[in-house]
Amino acid sequence: MQPWKTLSRRTILNHSKYLAVEEHAVELPDGRVIPDWPWIITPDYVNVAAMDSDGRFLVFRQNKYGIDGTSFAPVGGYLEPGEDPLAAARRELLEETGYAADDWIDLGHYVVGGNRGIATGYLYLARVARRVAEPDADDLEEMELLLLSRDEVETALKAGEFKVLSWATAMALALLRV
């Protein structure tokens, strides 16, 4: 199998550091050219399934503008330009919860949109997290930090209470590792 080739690209929307849209001309392996392939660029991000020393998961109950109702969510946030994903995961855990952990497991990284780019999500499991500071999150949403047992996380996953795909994926992959 041969990859598609990018022949050219032009920015058609540069909204902010959070969203750009490009139009690519791409050549398919059979030689056909698609002159107007849309490509979306948003920052890469991390999601962290964090557990304390008692095996409880640190989970937020929160609302997001793009979600109907309340959702459970793991720790997460955007990478800063040039930031290492694990460093971003450590930073987000500390900022959002006031917790730190020394035991980190890489759960993989995944492209959000296979045909449109969008971003790469880096997923981690932080074990034996401990409170070291007060949270200092700059999130726009109200968040309530909960400590959930493994059974409660499994029940919430089965009930669809993690309403964003990357959140559900991070938590499900973490459950496979503990």
pLDDT digits (tens, 9 = 90+) for 67-100: 999 999 999 999 999 999 999 999 999 999 999 9
Largest Cα–Cα distance of the chain, in whole Å? 57
| Whether residue 54 is found in the same domain as residue 128 | yes
| Whether residue 143 is found in the same domain as residue 84 | yes
The total of structural domains in the chain comes to 2
- Classify the C-alpha dihedral 93-158-164-145 as positive or negative: negative
| Whether residue 31 is found in the same domain as residue 50 | no
Nearest Cα residue to 153 out of 173, 131, 128: 173
| Whether residue 63 is found in the same domain as residue 145 | yes
Q: What is the pTM of this model?
A: 0.94
Contact 73, 149 (CB under 8 A): no
Contact 21, 39 (CB under 8 A): yes
Range of the domain at 12: 5-41
Per-residue model confidence (pLDDT) at position 161:
98
Per-residue model confidence (pLDDT) at position 31:
96
Contact 171, 57 (CB under 8 A): yes
CATH number at residue 164: 3.90.79.10
Q: What is the pLDDT of residues 38-64, one digit of tens each?
A: 999 999 999 999 999 999 999 999 998
Over 90: is that where the pLDDT of 136 sits? no
| Whether residue 25 is found in the same domain as residue 56 | no
